[in-house]
Amino acid sequence: MRGKKGTLQREKTVEKQKGVKETETFADLIGYVADRIKEEYDWQYGGFKSVPKFLMPETLELMQAALVYQGGSWDELMEHAFHSMYQGEIYDKEEGGFFRYSTEKDWSKPRFEKMLKENSQMLYVILNYYKITGDEFYAKISREILSYLEKNLYLSSEQAWAASQHASEGYYTLPLQERKEKEPPIVDTTVYVGSNAFLVRSLFLAAAVLLEPRWFDLAVSTLKTLEENCYRPGKGMSHYLLEGEKSGQLWGLLENQVAMGRALSAAFQYTGKDNYLETARQLAKYCLENFTVYDGSLSHSPLDSEEEMKDGFPLASVVENAYCARWFVEMAALTGEDAYLEKAADIIHAFLDRKRELDLVEGASLALAALEAREPAVVIDVVGKPEDDALLPLHNAAVTAFIPPKVVRLYSPQKAAALEDKEYKSIKQATAFIKLGKRQLELADSPEEVEEIIQNLLQERRAHVLFTVKESSHI
């Protein structure tokens, strides 16, 4: 319910999209975390004021959403953040890739360890920033990270990716030519499911944004390795796979179910293959049946008793729960099943009262989930024949468009006909059907038209997607 001036009214119930009812605390959370980001940002050195200084990709992702919806100082802040990291010693300008964290506020004296997960997350944010800005500097960084990962962490025998490359100050402080004369740091060849799943999403995005199909192929082969070796129906995902082994180890941790779930939903969007979405459904069902606590959150591992469900022990991290909520928002948009959306809202509500106790990464993760649960998702159905040369550019424009929340569904004309949608049946060429939630908006038959429609949608949303407490009705 909105007041005369369009502001959300305190203590009223607001239905932002079917299946999600909230008090305006979702808006408060987004504004509160956004204000905190600006307050804690280090304008001298970039990043945030706490030491040691971490990359915090979740926070950067929220900043990107603020940039496209609100603009203003967010543009300057994002630019400063990326350039500060790149120019600091946290980024390896010789071989590419980010180190784990810095022990100094000016990004000097890094912990010289390169983690697959952090680099996968940073790659995803940087690729999106390249798409938003068109600045080739970010394409360059993306390619450097990809090159480093493939050269050093890709395990061709496993068709998956190693966990990390160990820290070595004596190696990484040398120029490239001198490094070549030394033995490189040891690689931990453990294949962690969560880290590989994060990378799968980034590889799909890299293929589409950089127009380099080889990353698509690596995303598909990595996902196949995880499905065949680390997934069991009714048992979920394992935590890791040891090199040379054919079965995963340590089953049933929430973080792996959620990371794999989002990798599968991404694979469905990039390939149109139903098997990916079906496996994602099974993982979501496994999570809901085995991890749900009475307060609405999800536990770190499966709950074995009614007492554990009541106590919520052991609780998963806020970050894991928020990431799960975002996955469920995607699943709701992809399947049309509002129950996923309702569960996403339940998860967010479970942590709202603690928002002032959360650190910045936790707060940003939860605010991203709140934003995506609150706003009706943009759903782009791309319909066309595989042999139609116009299909791939149109699909690329759809999957790379940055307007959170958004999902893409790729249909052949035969599959579209089975949906019993008259418009889908009658198309003569590749066409993108762009919807807001379940409401049809416009059709596009070229990448340029897709981008124009998305820009118009962004402009419309800027009036009510707020990233400051002062503009909401927060008391």
Q: What is the pLDDT, as a whole number, of residue 310?
A: 54
Given pLDDT bands bounded at 50, 70 and 90, which one contains residue 16? low
Q: What is the pLDDT of residues 292-337, one digit of tens each?
A: 988 899 998 888 755 555 554 556 689 999 999 999 999 999 999 9
**Which amino acid type is present at position 72?**
G
Most confident of 265-269, 307-311, 420-424: 265-269
pTM > 0.85: yes
Domain boundaries, the chain: 47-186, 190-264, 377-475
Distance CA 351, CA 367 (A): 11
**pLDDT of the residue at 311:** 53
Over its C-alpha atoms, the chain yields an Rg (Å, rounded) of 22
- Do 185 and 167 touch, CB atoms closer than 8 A? yes
DSSP 355: G
Pairwise CA distance, residues 154 & 161, whole Å = 5
Rounded-to-integer distance, Cα 258 and Cα 242, Å: 21
> 47-186 has which CATH code?
1.50.10.20
| CA atoms 101, 164, 284, 204: torsion sign | positive
Task: Give mean pLDDT, residues 140-160.
Answer: 97
Domain 377-475 in CATH 3.30.2230.10? The answer is no
What is the structure's pLDDT at 360? Answer: 96
At 183 the pLDDT is: 94
Residues contacting 388, CB < 8 A, separation 6+: 429, 430
Residue 423 has pLDDT above 90, yes or no: no
**What percent of the chain lies above the pLDDT cut of 70?**
90
Please give the pLDDT value at position 21. 55
Q: How would you label 454-467 residue by residue, b for 16+ Cβ within 10 Å and e otherwise?
A: beebbeebeebbbb
* pLDDT tens column, 79-129: 999 999 999 999 999 999 999 999 999 999 899 999 999 999 999 999 999
> How many CB atoms within 10 Å of residue 278?
12
What's the pLDDT at 316? 67
Residue with tokens 């991290």: 317
pLDDT of residue 267: 98
3-state secondary structure 114-129: EEHHHHHHHHHHHHHH
What is the mean predicted confidence (pLDDT) over 451-472? 81
pLDDT above 90 coverage of the chain, percent: 78
The first and second tokens of residue 420, run together, are: 């019993």
Q: What is the mean pLDDT of the chain?
A: 89
pLDDT score at 431: 95
CA dihedral sign, ordered 11, 16, 21, 24: negative
First to last CA, the chain: 17
Q: By CB neighbour count within 10 A (0-12 exposed, 13-18 middle, 19+ buried), where does 386 fall?
A: exposed
Q: Tens digits of per-residue pLDDT, 39-50?
A: 999 999 999 988
Residue 244 has pLDDT above 90, yes or no: no
Residue 194 has pLDDT above 90, yes or no: yes
Least confident of 19-33, 131-145, 262-276, 337-351: 19-33
- Predicted confidence band of residue 390 (pLDDT cuts 50, 70, 90): very high
Nearest in space to 472 (alpha carbons), one of 387, 324, 370, 343 = 370
Partnered with residue 454 across adjacent β-strands are none
Choose between 9 and 77: higher pLDDT: 77
CB 191 within 8 A of CB 241: yes
